[in-house]
Amino acid sequence: TNQLTGKVAFVQGGSRGIGAAIVKRLARDGAAVAFTYVSSADKAKAVAQEIEAVGGRALAIHADSSDAGAVQQAIQAAAKAFGRIDILVNNAGVLALAPVEDFKLEDFERTVAVNVRSVFVATQEAARHMGDGGRIITIGSTNADRMPFAGGAVYAMSKAAIVGLTKGLARDLGPRGITVNNVQPGPVDTDMNPANSDFADTLKGLMAVGRYGKDEEIASFVAYLAGPEAGYITGASLTIDGGFGA
């Protein structure tokens, strides 16, 4: 569809996995898309080229989401290049797993900086460039509601923080016609969580559908929330997890 024609999107973490699928889907729906990456410059360039090859507009920006200043500058650069921001997607995330006895404090700090603080910082900055009809979507996790294995406490905490942040931000920005939502995927086949590992077999056993999700399935849901028909959905945490939490 062309439901996002004329819109400008900014995606934190768009070089691989779910984020790359979101970037491509929003572009296919007509949006100009700026997105960030931190280590995968070649993959980011390939995503942008794929979009430009079919006449779309894309801009890959190096910005580490753990650096608040870098996130602000990236959004300012995107707003300058494309005129404003209509859609913000906070996808960048990190997963550090370790038993509580061994969990490193630096991994705690990095998880909070990338998975939580960057969402706040990006929302604050993007809202300065957003008008009526704006959309803010964060990729949380079904682990906010269900963490059925050991070692994931800090990750679960970071994704649970997004539930409350989303509710509060929806109250702040609702009067301006901007919606704020949290999409909570279950296991999705990416570099972070490959569907062919031993761990994956354990996770599949916990799901109603018994299979991993595809990044395109998450991107499709994000595209709906980003579109004009979703204006009455806000402050919500919406789970798309193959029944992992059921």
Tell the smallest beta-carbon distance from residue 31 to ligand NDP (Å).
18
Q: Is 93 in the site for ligand NDP (CB under 6 A)?
A: yes
Question: What is the Cα–Cα distance from 142 to 132, expressed in whole angstroms?
Answer: 30
Q: Is 40 in the site for ligand NDP (CB under 6 A)?
A: yes
Residue 215 tokens read as 């990044």
Long-range contacts from 171-178, C-beta under 8 angstroms, 24+ separation: 171/235, 173/127, 173/134, 173/136, 174/234, 174/235, 176/127, 176/130, 176/131, 176/132, 176/134, 177/131, 177/132, 177/133, 177/134, 177/231, 178/127, 178/130, 178/132, 178/133, 178/134, 178/135, 178/136
The residue within the footprint of ligand NDP, chosen from 79, 87, 88, 92 (CB under 6 A), is: 92
In the residue annotation, 155 being an active-site residue is answered as yes
Tell the smallest beta-carbon distance from residue 213 to ligand NDP (Å).
7
Question: What is the Cα–Cα distance from 219 to 22, expressed in whole angstroms?
Answer: 5
Q: Is 239 in the site for ligand NDP (CB under 6 A)?
A: no
Cα 127 to chain centroid distance, Å, stands at 16
Cβ neighbours of residue 106 under 8 Å, at least 6 residues apart?
A: none
Site string for ligand NDP, 143-182 (x = CB under 6 A): ----------------------------------------
Of 31 and 61, which CB lies nearer to ligand NDP in the complex structure?
A: 61
Q: Is 237 in the site for ligand NDP (CB under 6 A)?
A: no
The stretch among 33-41, 48-56, 161-169, 226-234 that binds ligand NDP (CB under 6 A) is: 33-41
Q: Position of tokens 């969402």?
A: 119
What SS3 state is found at 32?
Answer: strand
Of 32 and 121, which CB lies nearer to ligand NDP in the complex structure?
A: 121
Site for ligand NDP in 120-139 (CB under 6 A): 139
Residues that bind ligand NDP in the complex, under the rule CB under 6 A: 13-19, 36-40, 43, 64-66, 91-95, 114, 139, 141, 185, 187-188, 190-193
